Every structure is written in C-alpha cells, then in structure tokens.
C-alpha cells in the first residue's frame, strides 16, 4: 500500500483535486462507483427522502471534528481507505448521493387526490402551486377550467387552506415539522376567484364599510377596487365566536378587520382605538378553514376558521374563530386573502383568462356558451335574452317530443338491446358518485366551492330505486329526489313528479344544464374526483 501511495504522489501533486479523484478511482474501481450497489442504495426519483436519510445530511452532535475544529457531515459511503480518502472528497460524495439538501434545485413532493390516492413527482425548487396543478391536469388528461387548486392540509391541527397560485410549493412544505401529518391535496375549487365575478354575493352590505370618500351603494367593480387599491380603507366588521387562550370555552366578540390586521372590541361594538385589541396581522400569517370545528375544538357551529402564524405549528398559537353561518365565514376568509395578497390575487385570476384567448383548448366556462340560431341560411348569435330564453324552452320541448316519438315508434335503443343499460349508463359519468351519503355529498360540494350551480348525482340512501341531485345555491346545499316514472312499460326519470321525463340520467343532467326548470339555478359545475 505504501508503494502505491508513493507512485500516486509522484503522478499527481499533493493537494490537487486530481489526486483525490484518482485515489478515489483507485479505491473504488471507477468513478461510476457513486451509483454502485456496494454503496448506499439510491432512491427512486419518485420517492421522497425518508426522515432517516434526510437527517444524515445534517450536522449532529455526534459528528467527528476536523483539525480546524469544523464539524463535518457524516458520510454514508463506506470508506475502506481512510488514509487515501480525504474529508473534502467525503463531503463531495455526500452531496452527490444526497440530492435533498437545502442547496438542491429539485425535490420530490407527494400530492393526494380527492379519493386519497397519491402521486410523487420531482419538481424544481421554484415551482408554483399553479404549475403543479397544470402538471397534474396534463398527466390526468383533465379539462383545465382554472378551478383546479392545491390545498395545504394539516391533519394534526384539523385545518386546511387554499395555496394561492403564485405561492412556491416547496416554501409551503418547508414550514411543516418533520413529524407532522401534513400533505398537499389536489382538487377542484370553483369558489377560488368567484368573488371577482360576484363580489356583492361574498361581501354582505351589513359587514362592509369603506372610507368616507366612497358614498352611496357601490357596484361590483367599485367594491373590488376598494380592496385592491391601497388608497382606500375598506373594513369588515361583525360578530364572531372566539376561543379564549388556554380555555375550552368560546365567547362572542365584535371583530374588525382592516389592512393593519384583525382586532376585537372589549366594549360592545365600539371601534375606538382604546377599545380595540390586536389579534393578528397577515404579513406572516395565513387564514385556514377548520375542518371539524365542533368535534375537534368544541365550537358552537361548524363554520370555523383560524389564523395561523407561519413561524409556529403549535395548536396553542392558533387564533380560533367561528361564524354563525357559511356566508359570514366566507366573507371573513375572502377579505383576509385580499388584504394579504391584494393585486397578486387579481393577477392570478386574470392570467389564465389572458392565456386562454390564444389557447386552442376548449373552455367549459359558462361565459363561453351563447345562444345560436341555425334556422336561416347563415347562423347568428341571439343577443336578446328574451328570445334566447324562448328558444331554450322550445328546444327543450322539441327534445321531449322527439324522445317520446322515438320511444313510441321504435322503442328505446338502450332498452331494446339490454333493459338494464339505461339504468347503469350513468355510472361512468364524472358527476355521478354512486353510494354517497347525504353528509359526504355535503362535504364534497363544500370542499369544491359553495357557488351557484355546483352539483352531483348519487344513489338515494333511503330509497334504493331512486336518485338524488345535490345542488348548491346561495351558499346552501339542497337535495332533490329523482323519481323513476313508469309509463306503458317504459321507465323514465323525473324531478317534477313526471311533468318532465327523461329516458336516462344523462339526458336529465344535459337538460338542466341548459334549462333551470324547477331548480333554483342551472347545473353548472359538477363535483369531480380523479385518481392520481
């Protein structure tokens, strides 16, 4: 061994990197030994690093000391020749074998879907939540209607929030503790930017006040401008239940939300500075939704929210609040998001729509649907709302007459071949969720956005032969029973006691997507579950 060392010292000057590389090749056989099975097994690129492997890349108290007193990283590579393998090369090999250090440009993230399936992907360090959503939309061949959203779900705290499209995913993930049961969830959120379209629905007049410069009733655009403009001073105020620090009891206070932060009044509804006590500001905090406010926190209602500091993950540091209804909670959460991000939220909202103008991808937005008249030599857009409504009604009546004529003359194509086919044809539709309970349907619609027209169809739990349409309207979820109607040996489905009949559920959904009928609004957005 001493002869070989002398020979190598003659070939390579001492202290050069070439010497260390040559000595390492001599010891391991070749430079490809970095991935050799004799070393530590390399992880799959689709698997996140385990906590044990991650900790070996960090300094610890048991690490050996160098001559200069510097603490060195423990090398996972077996060193059979310590006299030939210097500490600098050891650090170099460690960095090559463990790409999950803080200097790494890529990292593996694991994302969960609505049905709790998951997929791990390797992403760059500067990837945003919008980029992750685009990635999964492409991988799962989904239609990108700009409602796909990434959520931060903190199971140990029972809270979750929408990760804004511009936020860096790895920064969000870096705030989690090593042992916390936290995860990223990918699902629909139709209400993410709905307040830009219908702000008056999100901000009740009795909860919003603005500076004295704005007088009178504001329209949609003026209300949003007050939140986006730094020169105006909008204010959200109202009663909320708050959990007192260190106690299990909840108490009702009058709260005020301003650009400077969240306050509560210790004297009734007084807004005088000496009566307002500071609760939180949002430069280093985020607003979350409580998933089970009553069960986990003993709240008086299930409409809970909380303010969590980015610097703490302790349950004691959560500012727990609770509203009396869904509209009140939505107003507070939306206002907090606007105060925190301001114009950035508006840019997130308009950016996909600007991109859509030059994109050939088909949009399923309600605004892209227009009434057309094809009766003449040239087609035309029907701009008169009254004419468009009459055309829609006539089309629906014509559709019913054709269906009845087809059934009476030739029989249903589906039933003539297989009597059961018209019953199970809806099973493959994305809006049908089979054996879903009333509470689960309520939870699913709530998660995907409480805006008008969000719906799903499911089997009835009380009557196995019927179905239920669950529909959101005015931030409330209503359930409509779909009854089977038998006429001259043929089976139909109806929402209005047989006045309007459909041969199958697909025809029923397509009709009410175009016509409101007996429903409070048309069917617009179906609740979808995908498997990653």
223 and 146 fall within a common domain: no
Nearest to 234 by CA among 250, 247, 218: 218
The CATH number of residue 261's host domain is 2.30.29.30
396 lies in some domain: no
257 and 218 fall within a common domain: yes
64 and 205 fall within a common domain: no
160 and 228 fall within a common domain: no
The CATH number of residue 183's host domain is 3.10.20.90
238 and 267 fall within a common domain: yes
217 lies in some domain: yes
The reported pTM is 0.66
275 lies in some domain: yes
Contact between 304 and 297 (Cβ < 8 Å): yes
CA geometry: angle 285, 289, 291, nearest 5 deg: 140
Domain that holds residue 138: 106-188
21 and 69 fall within a common domain: yes
300 lies in some domain: yes
Tens-binned pLDDT, residue by residue, of the chain (532 aa): 556 555 545 555 544 444 444 434 444 444 333 333 333 333 444 444 444 444 333 444 444 444 444 444 444 445 444 444 444 544 444 344 333 444 458 899 999 998 889 999 999 999 999 999 999 999 888 888 889 999 999 998 999 999 999 999 999 998 887 767 899 999 999 999 999 998 988 999 899 988 654 455 566 678 888 899 888 889 999 999 998 777 788 999 999 999 999 999 999 999 999 999 999 999 889 999 999 899 888 999 999 999 999 888 788 889 999 999 999 999 999 999 999 999 999 999 987 655 444 333 333 444 455 666 666 666 677 766 666 666 666 665 565 555 444 444 444 333 334 444 445 677 778 899 888 899 999 999 999 999 999 999 999 888 878 899 999 998 899 999 999 888 877 888 999 888 888 988 999 999 999 999 999 999 999 998 878 7
10 and 131 fall within a common domain: no
> Looking at 169, 188, 207, which one is the last position of a domain?
188
117 and 146 fall within a common domain: yes
400 lies in some domain: no
Contact between 391 and 371 (Cβ < 8 Å): yes
DSSP E strand boundaries for 266-420? 276-280, 285-290, 303-309, 319-323, 372-373, 380-381
206 Rama class: left (phi>0) / alpha (psi -120 to 50) / beta = alpha
424 and 471 fall within a common domain: yes
> Looking at 350, 372, 393, which one is the last position of a domain?
350
285 and 205 fall within a common domain: yes
532 lies in some domain: no
287 lies in some domain: yes
22 lies in some domain: yes
> Looking at 188, 211, 232, which one is the last position of a domain?
188
112, β-bridge pairs: 118, 185
301 and 283 fall within a common domain: yes
Domain count, the chain: 4
The CATH number of residue 463's host domain is 3.30.505.10
Q: Is the dihedral of CA 357, 359, 364, 370 positive or negative?
A: positive
Q: Please, what's the largest Cα pairwise distance for the chain?
A: 103
142 and 72 fall within a common domain: no
pLDDT given for residue 531 in this prediction:
81
């Amino acid at each position: 061994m001493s002869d070989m060392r002398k020979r190598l010292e003659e070939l390579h000057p001492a202290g050069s990197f070439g010497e260390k590389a040559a000595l390492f090749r001599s010891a391991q056989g070749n430079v490809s030994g970095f991935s050799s099975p004799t070393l530590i097994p390399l992880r799959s690129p689709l698997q996140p690093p385990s906590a044990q492997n991650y900790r070996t890349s960090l300094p610890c108290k048991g690490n050996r000391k160098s001559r200069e007193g510097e603490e060195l990283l423990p090398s996972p590579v077996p060193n059979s020749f310590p006299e030939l393998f210097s500490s600098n090369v050891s650090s170099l090999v460690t960095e090559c074998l463990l790409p999950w250090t803080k200097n790494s440009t890529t990292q593996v993230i694991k994302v969960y879907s609505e049905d709790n399936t998951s997929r791990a992907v390797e992403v760059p360090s500067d990837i945003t939540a919008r980029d992750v959503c685009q990635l999964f939309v492409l991988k799962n061949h989904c239609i990108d209607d700009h409602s796909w959203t990434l959520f931060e779900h903190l199971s140990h705290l029972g809270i979750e929030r929408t990760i804004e499209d511009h936020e860096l995913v790895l920064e969000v993930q870096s705030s989690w503790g090593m042992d916390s049961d936290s995860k990223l969830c990918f699902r629909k959120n139709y209400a993410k930017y709905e307040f830009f379209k219908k702000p008056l629905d999100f901000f009740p007049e009795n909860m919003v006040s603005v500076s004295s410069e704005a007088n009178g009733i504001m329209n949609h655009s003026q209300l949003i401008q007050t939140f986006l403009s730094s020169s105006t001073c909008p204010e959200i105020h109202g009663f909320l239940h708050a959990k007192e620090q260190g106690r299990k009891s909840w108490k009702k206070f009058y709260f005020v939300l301003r650009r400077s932060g969240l306050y509560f009044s210790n004297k009734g509804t007084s807004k005088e500075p000496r009566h307002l006590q500071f609760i939180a500001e949002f430069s280093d905090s985020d607003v979350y939704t409580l998933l089970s406010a009553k069960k986990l926190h003993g709240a008086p209602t299930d409409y809970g929210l909380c303010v969590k500091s980015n610097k703490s993950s302790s349950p004691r540091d959560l500012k727990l609040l609770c509203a009396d209804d869904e509209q009140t909670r939505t107003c507070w959460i939306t206002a907090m998001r606007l105060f925190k991000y301001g114009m950035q939220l508006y840019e997130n909202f308009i950016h996909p729509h600007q991109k859509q103008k030059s994109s050939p991808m088909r949009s399923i937005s309600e605004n892209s649907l227009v009434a057309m008249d094809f009766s003449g030599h040239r087609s035309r857009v029907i701009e008169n709302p009254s004419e468009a409504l009459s055309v829609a009604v006539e089309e629906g009546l014509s559709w019913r007459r054709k269906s009845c004529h087809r059934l009476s003359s030739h029989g249903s194509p589906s039933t003539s071949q297989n009597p059961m086919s018209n019953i199970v044809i809806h099973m493959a539709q994305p809006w049908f969720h089979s054996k879903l309970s009333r509470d689960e349907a309520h939870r699913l619609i709530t998660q995907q956005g409480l805006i008008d027209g969000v719906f799903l169809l499911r089997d009835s739990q009380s009557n196995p032969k019927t179905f239920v349409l669950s529909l959101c309207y005015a931030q409330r979820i209503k359930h409509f029973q779909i009854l089977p109607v038998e006429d001259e040996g043929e089976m139909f489905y109806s929402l209005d006691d047989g006045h309007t009949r459909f041969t199958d559920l697909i025809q029923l959904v397509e009709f009410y997507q175009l016509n409101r009928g007996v429903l409070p609004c048309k069917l617009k957005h179906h609740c979808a579950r995908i498997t990653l």
